[in-house]
């Protein structure tokens, strides 16, 4: 390891050690990172179109999600309607009630008495996303297996008797989009644990103007969760002291297919380190800054310590790339064709002949892992999601 890398590691370790001491239930100090990222749960391996045996180092598709098991999910059912996440220190409501409107959720949380606690809150999008597991699968609008551990958490499906699709069981967070989607809709970020995505949902029905209703799962504990603490190491890397992850400050500056993205990350040598990898979905989502958007700030939804490429293609000029993760998203006619990306810029779609931000900066979607570059971008689904396929990469490594 180079001298500057050793120096930066020592500085980061000291900062990380100071951040590790957080107060538990009885104000007792416990050694936990304040923003520990729970693993995605993925243990299977995939190529572009199928499940495969575990690739070895140097082989194609090495470096995907299942190669790196970090912070294995660990829950305790407290037997009183609450579930403790032993990785994050967050305590969750086990059962969700009926769908309610956004404003009522905050009133409900304030009055909630559950498990002997009265300090429940509506979770942020980062808190809520900590529960997602990419062991789930979905085929279009038809649910197969939820993207949450149903041994601990109930997860309803959409009610067909009310004209809902099975995937219409979205859970809202407290995080409102700082911009607007679909032209001018006030928007709230939520996680769909039935189809495995983050998107922005309109607060009000666009035609009836009535307040939309969604599910809510309330949380308490660890108020530091989801709050980043970035240190610029001045060597092309950035350490998030809160999560214990070190990031590539710049991005790949070019788009590539998913398999190429895995290879790029595994081959990267930067700041004296050669153990870089493609982040999984939950790791990459951890560095989204949901207080920013291209509409309101003219920048991507990420801390200004990072460098972000702009796209120059005529149809997307001055837009920001999507970024690959190492996580396969089991969805579609062939469950293995797509991988997860995070949109740090507008999550674009084509509606009524116009290209617009349909899901919000900070959305998590998925693109085909491969395809002919001449056929992309193209548009897919009810909101005309823009599929790029040749997405950018920002690499990560464990800092400690």
Residues 6 or more apart whose CB falls under 8 angstroms from that of 78 comprise: 84, 91, 115
Give the pLDDT confidence score for residue 373 in this predicted structure. 86
Rounded CA-CA distance 144/166 in Å is 10
Which regions in the chain score pLDDT beneath 50?
A: 1, 11, 14, 18, 21-30
pLDDT tens string 367-400: 999 999 889 889 999 999 999 999 999 999 999 8
Give the pLDDT confidence score for residue 33 in this predicted structure. 85
Rounded CA-CA distance 127/92 in Å is 10
Distances (CA, A) of 171 to 38, 57, 73, 101, 219: 19, 38, 20, 11, 13
| Count of all residues that appear for the chain in the document | 400
Residues 6 or more apart whose CB falls under 8 angstroms from that of 111 comprise: none
What does the DSSP assignment read for 67-98?
Answer: G---S---EEE-SSSEEEETTT--EEESS--S
Residues 6 or more apart whose CB falls under 8 angstroms from that of 199 comprise: 189, 190, 192, 347, 359, 360, 363, 364, 365
Give the pLDDT confidence score for residue 2 in this predicted structure. 55
């Amino acid at each position: 390891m180079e001298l500057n890398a050793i120096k930066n590691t020592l500085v980061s370790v000291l900062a990380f050690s100071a951040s590790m001491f957080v107060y538990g239930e009885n104000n007792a100090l416990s050694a936990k990172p304040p923003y520990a990222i729970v693993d995605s749960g993925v243990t299977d391996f995939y190529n572009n179109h199928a499940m495969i045996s575990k690739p070895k180092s140097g082989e194609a598709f090495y470096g995907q999600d299942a190669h790196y098991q970090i912070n294995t999910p660990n829950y305790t059912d407290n037997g009183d309607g609450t579930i403790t996440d032993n990785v994050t220190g967050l305590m969750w409501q086990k059962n969700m009630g009926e769908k309610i409107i956004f404003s009522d959720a905050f009133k409900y949380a304030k009055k909630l008495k559950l498990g002997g606690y009265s300090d429940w809150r509506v979770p942020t999008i980062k808190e809520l996303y900590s529960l997602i597991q990419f062991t789930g699968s979905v085929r279009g609008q038809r649910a197969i297996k939820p993207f949450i551990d149903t041994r601990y958490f109930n997860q309803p499906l959409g009610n067909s008797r009310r004209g809902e699709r099975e995937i219409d069981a979205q859970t809202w967070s407290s995080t409102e989009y700082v911009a607007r989607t679909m032209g001018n809709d006030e928007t709230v970020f939520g996680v769909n644990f039935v189809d495995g995505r983050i998107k922005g949902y309109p607060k009000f029905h666009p035609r009836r103007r009535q307040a939309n209703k969604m599910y809510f799962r309330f949380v308490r504990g660890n108020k530091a969760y989801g709050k980043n603490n970035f240190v610029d190491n001045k060597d092309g890397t950035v350490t998030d002291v809160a999560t214990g992850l070190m990031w590539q400050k710049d991005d790949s500056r070019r788009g590539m297919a998913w398999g190429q993205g895995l290879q790029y990350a595994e081959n990267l040598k930067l700041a004296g380190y050669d153990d870089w990898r493609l982040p999984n979905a939950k790791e990459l989502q951890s560095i989204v800054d949901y207080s920013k958007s291209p509409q309101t700030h003219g920048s991507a939804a990420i801390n200004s310590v990072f460098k972000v490429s702009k796209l120059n293609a005529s149809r997307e000029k001055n837009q920001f790339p999507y970024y690959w993760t190492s996580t396969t998203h089991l969805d579609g006619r062939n469950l293995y064709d797509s991988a997860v990306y995070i949109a740090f810029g507008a999550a674009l779609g084509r509606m009524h002949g116009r290209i617009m931000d349909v899901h919000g900066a900070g959305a998590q979607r998925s693109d085909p892992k491969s395809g002919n570059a001449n056929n992309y971008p193209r548009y897919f689904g009810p909101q005309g999601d823009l599929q790029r396929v040749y997405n950018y990469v920002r690499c990560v490594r464990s800092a400690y």
